[in-house]
Amino acid sequence: MLCEECKAQQATVHYTQVVNGEKTEMHLCEDCAKARSDIDILGFPGTGFNINSLLAGLMNFEHGPTPAKLRAEACSTCGADYNRFTQSGRLGCADCYKTFAKQISPLLKRIHGTTAHHGKVPSKGAKEISRKRRLTNLKLEQRAAVESEQYEKAAELRDQIRKLELDGQ
């Protein structure tokens, strides 16, 4: 069978499209099929239903329709706005996690049951991450010590915090 479009090459792509119950068949060669934007030669034409649209639905379900102001808010690093995320389910860059932290944090919790990663950490950054985690904990302890008027303990903690902060420089 020859390609219906160029009528020169063998038709190797046999495409059946059903729209509203109406069936159209096309027999094309690979080149002509590639040239047509309405045919996804390797896959299926986009039906718009995938994990991302499901996720987007979940977002709307969680927070109700997104307010216009938030929709237009864009990440200063990559320029992707929140609206894009609710539609595609994909973030634009690593900084979007910070830009949209208020929305992403509850979403992560909803998906994974938690926001806290307990797995592998980059070996290069591992030391730094544990230093920062320790620093946060020490500061919390120090505040509690001051509040309960345990000034000696607070001073000890202050020295430990200073030392850790110097390590990081």
Partner 1 sequence: MDYKAKWMEGNGPESAIVVSTRVRVARNLAGVPFPGTMNEIQAQGVIATVEAQQGVLEDMHVQRMAELSQVDRLALVEKHLISLDLANKSDGAVAISSDQAVAIMVNEEDHLRIQCLLPGLQLEQAWETASRYDDLLEAEIPFAFHEEYGYLTACPTNAGTGMRASVMLHLPALVGSGHVGKVLAAIGQFGLMARGIYGEGTQAVGQMFQISNQVTSGLPEEEIIRNLRGVVEQIVAQEKAHLKKMTATSRLQVEDRVFRSIGLLSNVRLLSTNEAMSLISDIRLGVAADIIDLSPGLLCQLMVLAQPGVLQKECTESLDSQQRDVKRAEILSKRLKQALRGGNI
Residues found near partner 1 in the complex (CB under 8 A): 1, 10-12, 14, 30, 34, 40-44, 51-52, 55, 77-80, 88-94, 97, 104, 107-108, 111-125, 129, 132-133
Residue 144: CB minimum distance to partner 1, A: 21
**Minimum CB distance to partner 1 smaller for 48 or for 113:** 113
Alpha-carbon separation of residue 71 from 49, 56, 63, 67, 103 (angstroms): 22, 13, 12, 6, 11
**Minimum CB distance to partner 1 smaller for 75 or for 145:** 75
Residue 77: CB minimum distance to partner 1, A: 7
Residue 129: CB minimum distance to partner 1, A: 6
